[in-house]
Structure 1
């Protein structure tokens, strides 16, 4: 069964900056995994689903986003999930938290047998280095990014469904919010 997840994809200018940081991690620490994806904020973490359910899920997401309103996302500096993940911190605003909660409810309510609510608290972020950062390199990578600042804002007006395509993740559906459709 293919692997999917649901996310907010960052706009191109944010993606380009994040790509520069990901490339630094590639050249300095040989971290490749984060390069497989565009800059994004995961709302629903990866889940397996039969590909035949991709269209019905897309319809559910389209109906859901039709009732959503665009809002601002704020990025502020860097943080980490020790000892393997470095990321850009995303301020967890009320609109973002509500969007995630509503998406989880949508997936629980439909008949697609998709993932249940996550047990871990939601920590919105944009990954720069993922699980392929070696534990021995973590302190140096964290020190590099803790010495830098990042502040950005962008308007989000869609959620995307991504599918694992082996070496890359591909966006298989983008669902604009009702006020932008």
Structure 2
């Protein structure tokens, strides 16, 4: 089964909804997982290839801090992200456990639960304030490896995956990513901002 990006229902909204509105990009803030670690995690999900699941491509594996929203001004969003990133330093992210979630009795994902110091929760809280976003769900740091399309309990029973991990990654930057348009795959990096220093922006066709 081919790998696809993690997109889900977020793509159902029209980015240009509203008469006369400016074009909007569907963006979110995340931590990028290092390629070597992402490749290893993605291999753990290959056991699910024979089931109705959506595997996440290694390049798209990430830890979401601010859920997707429709953004009118990418430069404005980059400025807000710069303001938050400058107040935080590097930290270590721990990959502790791979299994089904968020509720093992009604699983919807194969994911890796992560842990970090209190700085991670403080970083997320600062980002939500900066972007005027809310997320009422309890913060459970994780990276998704596969989305279960249907009958998650049966998939989990037929292919039990429940493993402790001992992986760590030093996180030195934070990312602004754009979700793919309907029918497309892969997240587009809009900005990668090192903590506590000036940002490094990838060049794009529109100069942002």
TM-score, with length taken from structure 2? 0.72
Shift of 1:92: 4.7
Q: Which residue of 1 aligns with 2:11?
A: none
CA RMSD of aligned residues (A): 2.2
Q: Give 3-state SS (helix, strand or coil) of 1:175's partner.
A: strand
Partner of 1:126: 143
SS in 2 for 1:178: coil
Q: Which runs of 5+ in 2 are unaligned?
A: 1-14, 16-24, 200-208
The alpha-carbon distance between structure 1 residues 121 and 44, as it changes in their structure 2 partners (threshold 3 A), is same
Give the drift of 1:28: 2.9
The 5 A counterparts of 1:137-156 are 137-141=155-159, 143=160, 145-146=161-162, 148-156=163-171
Does 2:66 match 1:44? yes
TM-score normalized with structure 1 length: 0.82
Moved over 3 A (4+): none
CA distance in 2, matches of 1:30, 1:37: 21
Computing the radius of gyration from Cα coordinates, the structure with the larger value is 2
Change (3 A) 1:84 1:37: farther
* Partner in structure 2 of residue 94 of structure 1: 118
Matched residue SS, 2:138: coil
Gaps of 5+ in 1: 109-115
After superposition, where does 1:6-155 map in structure 2 within 5 Å? Answer: 6-25=29-48, 27-35=49-57, 38-50=60-72, 53-79=73-99, 80-81=101-102, 82-108=106-132, 116-132=133-149, 134-135=151-152, 136-141=154-159, 143=160, 145-146=161-162, 148-155=163-170
